[in-house]
Amino acid sequence: MWKRLLVALLIIPLLDAIFLIVVADWLSWPVTVLLVVLTALLGTLFVQAEGRHTIRRFQGAIGEGRLPADELLDGGFLIAAGALLLTPGLLTDAIGFLFVLPPSRYVFRGVLKRWVITPYLERKTDGFVSGDVYTFGFPDPNEGDSDGGTVDLGSESYDVHDEGGS
């Protein structure tokens, strides 16, 4: 995973620089620089507004006694958006704007929950997050069917003897 992240951190600025050269060739250098500065300023305003809104939602969730998981993820996306929008480049600005806008952030949050956070929690808690836990001890992989579905406990397992005589 770290190698992929390192490759992405090296490739994204390279692609951003190439894209800036292409856009500057197409428009002109002064217009391209103005566009980069304008997207950084506009993005900063959006991040501030969405940050205030996210803090209000976070406080509301805490006040209601709910876990503010969505609000925390939104805050993380807004921090990443701020960093991307302040990085000079049009591709990083486009990704930053996707992280700032609530509809796209909702999609990213769902993807992150489904494919990253939930599997990680499942591995760390041995199924406790989804409810796939064993209530009567841990299963023996050598017992039961070959598919691991049912376990034959035998006929003696269900006999209850009343020693009180009633």
In the block, tokens 């996306």 appear at 77
Residue 133 is predicted with a pLDDT of 63
The domain of 7 spans 2-140
Within the chain, which residues score under 70 in pLDDT? 131-166
Is 76 part of a structural domain of the chain?
Answer: yes
Is 58 part of a structural domain of the chain?
Answer: yes
Q: Are 47 and 12 in contact, with CB atoms under 8 Å apart?
A: no
Residue 141 is predicted with a pLDDT of 61
Is 166 part of a structural domain of the chain?
Answer: no
| Interatomic CA distance for residues 161 and 139, integer angstroms | 26
Is 127 part of a structural domain of the chain?
Answer: yes
Q: How many residues does the chain have?
A: 166
Is 162 part of a structural domain of the chain?
Answer: no
Integer angstrom CA distances of residue 106 from 109, 112, 115, 135, 156:
5, 10, 14, 35, 54
pLDDT tens digits along 19-49: 989 999 998 989 999 999 999 899 999 999 9
Is 159 part of a structural domain of the chain?
Answer: no
- Total of domains in the chain: 1
Q: Which two tokens stand for residue 94?
A: 């486009």
